[in-house]
Structure 1
Amino acid sequence: MSDCLRCGACCAHFRVDFSVYETASYCGSVPDGLVVEVAGATVRMRGTDHWPPRCAALTGTIGERVACAIYEWRPSPCREFEAGSDACARARARHGLPALAADG
């Protein structure tokens, strides 16, 4: 969705936790330098580990033009996030952006 290329609110609103097995050192794709350990087999995207969160892989200005520096290697929570969902609307509202219409 082209709106996502201007938005980026989700990348600067939520903590992004996922399995350590998605990291490069465990034969996954997420670069090791972009994660911090949470507990056990759980890691978090660097930058989403404090408040206000902003993923270290996010480039650009929220609401104007953004990109994910590791888009091809992003973790499962990012792959599964749905533009236009309730979570999307909450993230956009925090950044003063209007909600998107859900796909479909």
Structure 2
Amino acid sequence: MSACTSCGACCASFRVDFSVFETQERGGSVPDGLVVEVTSSTRRMRGTDHTPPRCAALTGKIGATIACGIYEWRPSPCREFAEGSDACNRARNRHGLAALEGF
């Protein structure tokens, strides 16, 4: 089992901005109801600009059992986020989780 299926720290640590072309409205797959406009060309996952951030598509408890409600349709920053990366370990640290090693 991947740490990503039980962690979710990244989904509750960072803003998630992406191209408007990734939204359903513009031919992409990210559901329009889960995005907010940043600029005419950029959208953000709803909830990721809150303090503390938490993506509106995230369900469950950080560090226990989590799920992404739009996993198949998630935006590129989420697809590209690397398990065990420096950013991953910073997010895990923010939520009191041990760093992942060996990635």
For the criterion TM > 0.5, the same-fold answer is yes
Q: Normalising TM by the smaller chain, what interval?
A: over 0.9
Structure 2 unpaired stretches of 5+: none
User: Where does structure 1 lack aligned partners over 5 or more consecutive residues?
Assistant: none
Deviations 1:49-74 (A, max 9, x none): 22100000001000000010000000
* Structure 1 match to 2:3: 3
Q: Matches of 1:42 and 1:12 in 2, distance apart?
A: 20
Letter in 2 for 1:73: W
Indicate the residue corresponding to 1:16 in structure 2.
Answer: 16
Q: Which residue of 2 aligns with 1:25?
A: 25
Distance in 1 (alpha carbons) for counterparts of 2:81 and 2:4: 11
Identity of aligned residues (%): 74
Measure the CA separation in 1 of the matches of 2:84 and 2:72.
21
TM-score by length of 2: 0.97
- Which amino acid in 2 is paired with 1:83? E
Contact 1:83–1:102 (8 Å) recurs in 2:
no
Residue 40 of structure 1 and its aligned partner are, at CA, apart by 2.0
User: CA-atom RMSD, angstroms?
Assistant: 0.9
SS at match of 1:40: coil
Instruction: State TM-score, norm by structure 1.
Output: 0.96
Q: Distance in 2 between matches of 1:20 and 1:102?
A: 35
